[in-house]
Chains A and B, each alone.
Chain A
Amino acid sequence: MALTAIAVVCVVAGVGYVTVAALTADGTTTDAQPQVVAGARGAKAVPPGGELLVRAVDYDNPRLNGRLFTIGLTPTEQPRAAREMACERVHENAAGDGLCLAAKPHGFDYQGIVYGPGREPLRRFSLPGVPDRARVSPDGRYGGFTAFLSGHTYSAGVRSFSTHTAIVDMRAGKQLFSLDQLEVTHDGEPFQRADANFWGVAFAGGDRFYATLGSGGHHYLLEGRVSTRRARIVGERVECPSPSPDGRRIAYKRRVGKQDRWRLHVLDLRSGRDLALAEPRSIDDQPEWLDDETIVYSDDRNVYAVPADGSGRPHRLVARASSPAALR
């Protein structure tokens, strides 16, 4: 009798709450709109004439999918909504080939959306975890993404986060291979590690790419080719690399101390000269080159620009925006 009463109360409360939730659910996309920061576009660090693609950030719910907006860097232009595409992470090349990583409508898992000029979705594929980084190659043939995986039990009881990073065939809209399957060499010797984790792919010319290999507390810079599925270690303490348009430098985040804190740096590939950028805060992002002199990045709330030679200071460019891509 008592159980019947409790059961009825529980069922009524549960079903009622779920019904109300289902009717009022606002889904996985926010209506937030980015705002261009007044005066930022006239600043010295910001080259005029360029154009940025960003995704909107809801300050209260930063992981909700944000709609895409293009922002002209000429002072008078207003942000323009870029169709009904919403992403958690996005990248696009100069030709308009894009890769959008987004939560599926029910919010339970994630998908990658390959789109073409006009930001028209072309292909979709499932992602194995929470979106982290996305990149499209300059020629639009390849994409790369990193997702966080959870639920891998590496030792009894203690789960650890690992990353899944893969190269995407943009025409087929499919994963080509996971970076786990790369043949990695270090000084000509094979480099095999059971605890190897990969993240932060970025493409240079042709089928060349850079990425990060983490193993045993070290973070190596990889340079590889899609066609051969081979890569070699060319540097250390480099995470989320981003080659400059002229291909001579790498912008990246450099881990400081034992905690998860990073500073933005630029490495000159020829001379090996490495310098810290003027952003004093810890930034967890894959930087993007606006042109050969300027780097843009976000702190997951706003988009900033800073000179690539370590001079000057960071300028907040767009509020309520992240994942900037330069539409050169």
Chain B
Amino acid sequence: MYQAESSGAVVRGGRPAAGARQRGGRVSRNVVVLGSVSLLTDVSSEMVAAILPIYLVFALGATPLQFGIVDGIYQGISALVRLVSGFVADRWRRHKEVAAVGYGLSAACKAGLVAIGGSVAAIGGIMLVDRTGKGIRTAPRDALIALSSATSALASAFGVHRAMDTAGAMLGPLVAFGLLVIAPARFDAIFVVSLCFAVLGLAVLLLFANGRPQRPDAPSPDSPMNSHRQDGTIHQSRAGVAETRPTLREAASLLTEPRFRTLAVAAGVLAIATISDGFVYLGLQRTLGFSLTAFPLLFVGSAAVYMALAIPVGRLADRVGRRLVFVAGYALLLPVYAVLLLPSAGIPGLVLALCALGAYYAATDGVLQAIASAILPDNLRASGLALLVTATSLAKLVSSVAFGLVWTLGGLEVAAAAFTAALAAALIAAAVVLSRSSEIAS
């Protein structure tokens, strides 16, 4: 277990921490609070997501086509919203408030399900608002995590948050299933309990999260990319730190900042050579020939590994270098693809693939946010993180379409072999580019 510290002063190895770098292993109380918020909210969302297909089709008699439409809405809304909310949070320095709007919207949606959950159209609308809420909260929340953490402990902080977040995502379906055993076919009970978790999450955020955290290693006036500060109006915040109110042009100019652009390009190139989870699971099923009913177990297996490794891998990244761990995480996909190409791998191959997939998430998801946070200026943190996530999700969408196309035309082996080659090339390119770009400017 990690330990939460209550203030910026950390004593480590007998050394007084005042003025010293915060090292991996301890994360601020604010990160744990935000992790708890995510855990509670994910229990709430995932318990609904787990039963939504069966509720729509079983209880409401929706057709598969209607289900497909609702599910499409559920999945695909957040990119644009994320960019807007990231910038709004930076512009008015209201990360906590913007995140609270996002969490609040999702809680309101659970109340909506309780009140008017009886129509397919209404559920479609509610899910649209719910996904909008998710889009709104992600970037400001990640910015708050970064703003609450010493630069040297960023990956540890994101690791703690992602471990708690994943724990919630795994607990949600279990809670939903348990409720259906106790009260058969009473979906309304699931919505009520989901609302309770959402309200608790929102309450923890509003009562305990610090919206104006002061970094344990206090921002230096010569922080990276301070060129963005030259044009902005400088004013004193409550914390007494010089800050600017970023303009839209400054946010857009992030794309021309060399180190951020290098990172975005490297992350995008790696993402474009990545086979999406759905295809990996489907490919494993085809290659190894196990039952389709085991599908949900694949997700649970890799999520459990992700949850277990998120904190230790985050700490490792802070110690040995985040770029190194990030690139090594993508290299872990190579054994996964190898199993897709080897029907003889059998069950040991499947276990290896799921472990590697979970470790890949632990080494890349939060770590990428940590790398970006270290090079982004404080006043554009949320905008930059939102840009990066949107760029990598677009790259992943392109890769999915390409993989599906190659699979259909040439078969699974050809597609897996092509992506293995592409990933190897992308790894070399990313390693070269990232090693030239320094870890932290200070």
Q: Which positions in A face B, CB cutoff 8 Å? A: 2-3, 6-7, 10-11, 13-14, 17-18, 21-22, 25-28, 61-64, 103, 105-109, 126, 128, 130, 148-161, 164, 178, 192-195, 260, 284, 300
Selected from B53, B196, B276, B291, the residue in CB contact (under 8 A) with A150 is B53
Q: Is the CB of B282 within 8 A of A13?
A: no
Q: Is the CB of B183 within 8 A of A152?
A: no
Q: Is the CB of A161 within 8 A of B68?
A: yes
Given A14-B196, A151-B296 in contact, is the A62-B61 Cβ separation under 8 Å? yes
Q: Is B54 an interface residue (CB 8 A)?
A: yes
- Not counting A18-B183, A21-B186, A153-B278, a sample of 14 additional A-B residue pairs whose C-beta atoms are within 8 angstroms of each other reads A3-B208, A11-B196, A18-B179, A63-B59, A63-B60, A107-B54, A107-B185, A150-B71, A155-B279, A155-B400, A158-B71, A161-B64, A161-B68, A260-B63
Q: Is the CB of B292 within 8 A of A164?
A: yes
Q: Is the CB of A3 within 8 A of B295?
A: no
* CB-contacts of B391-406 with A (<8 A): 393, 396-397, 399-401, 404
List chain A residues, Cβ under 8 A from B276. 153, 155-156
Tell me the minimal C-beta distance from B324 to chain A in angstroms.
Answer: 27
Selected from A107, A151, A194, the residue in CB contact (under 8 A) with B180 is A107
Q: Is the CB of B292 within 8 A of A25?
A: no
List chain A residues, Cβ under 8 A from B57. 63, 130, 148, 150
Tell me the minimal C-beta distance from B187 to chain A in angstroms.
Answer: 8
The 7 A-B residue pairs with the shortest CB-CB distance, nearest first, are A153-B278, A107-B185, A150-B53, A21-B189, A21-B183, A157-B75, A155-B400
Q: Is the CB of B404 within 8 A of A154?
A: yes
Tell me the dominant secondary structure on chain B's binding face.
Answer: helix
Q: Is the CB of A158 within 8 A of B185?
A: no
List chain A residues, Cβ under 8 A from B278. 152-156, 159
Given A22-B183, A155-B397 in contact, is the A148-B292 Cβ separation under 8 Å? no
Selected from B181, B282, B400, B411, the residue in CB contact (under 8 A) with A108 is B181
Q: Is the CB of B401 within 8 A of A155?
A: yes
Given A11-B196, A17-B192, A155-B276 in contact, is the A260-B65 Cβ separation under 8 Å? yes
Q: Is the CB of A18 within 8 A of B67?
A: no
Given A2-B207, A106-B180, A106-B185 in contact, is the A18-B193 Cβ separation under 8 Å? yes
Docked pose: A81 CA to B200 CA in angstroms? 49
Contact sample, A vs B, 28 pairs, CB 8 Å cutoff: A6-B199, A17-B189, A17-B193, A21-B189, A22-B186, A25-B184, A61-B59, A63-B60, A63-B61, A64-B185, A106-B180, A107-B185, A108-B54, A108-B181, A153-B279, A154-B278, A155-B401, A156-B276, A156-B278, A156-B397, A158-B71, A159-B75, A160-B68, A161-B65, A161-B67, A192-B411, A194-B412, A284-B63
Q: Is the CB of A14 within 8 A of B75?
A: no
Q: Is the CB of B396 within 8 A of A156?
A: yes
List chain A residues, Cβ under 8 A from B293. 126, 128
List chain B residues, Cβ under 8 A from A62. 61
Q: Is the CB of A156 within 8 A of B393?
A: yes
